[in-house]
Amino acid sequence: MFKARSEARRSLTVTAICSDAATLEGLAGYLHRRVAYRAVLTLGRANEESMASDCVLLYPDGFPARPAQRLAKRLISCATVSLVVIVAAQPGEYEVLERNRTTSSRLMVLSPPAWPWTLFAAIESSFPSVHREASRLSQRT
């Protein structure tokens, strides 16, 4: 994989919502070099931060189920969020959202472990312009 220089960092904004600080730190270590990365530890702050993002990584397992499901629905219906990736130990709780035709291209539901490079590959494949930029950057280094 490549390391993008700070001036070459993509304009893509990714927000991770998780109650586990270690998970957020691990994601930051990998994603921060590739995208504009934000981390959110609480659902209360998630509304503000994530609605202004291109992509949201939601780890609902550490939060109460109903509020996490409501947040997932709001994120999917948000016009500014192009991709929502949910990483849940019980992915079946979110598969009903995935089956909806209008959200199928905007939602991915994964089971843990979802490694940072796997998440980045999913993000990259969902944003074609990011993939082209990645190819140009890797050719330069």
Per residue in 48-77, pLDDT (tens digit) is 777 888 999 999 999 999 999 999 988 988
Structural domain contains residue 58: yes
Structural domain contains residue 1: no
pLDDT at 133 over 70: no
pLDDT score, position 48: 72
State the Cα–Cα distance between residues 67 and 71, nearest whole angstrom: 6
Structural domain contains residue 132: yes
Query: Domain of 120: which CATH number?
Result: 3.40.50.2300
Domain that holds residue 128: 6-140
Structural domain contains residue 110: yes
Q: Which residues, in sequence order, are CB contacts of 115 under 8 Å at separation 6+?
A: none
The total domain count for the chain is 1
Structural domain contains residue 55: yes
Q: Which residues, in sequence order, are CB contacts of 102 under 8 Å at separation 6+?
A: none
Structural domain contains residue 41: yes
State the Cα–Cα distance between residues 60 and 87, nearest whole angstrom: 7
Structural domain contains residue 45: yes
Q: Give tens-digit pLDDT for 114-132.
A: 999 999 998 888 876 554 4
pLDDT at 140 over 70: no
Question: In the 8-state DSSP scheme, what is residue 127?
Answer: -
Structural domain contains residue 109: yes
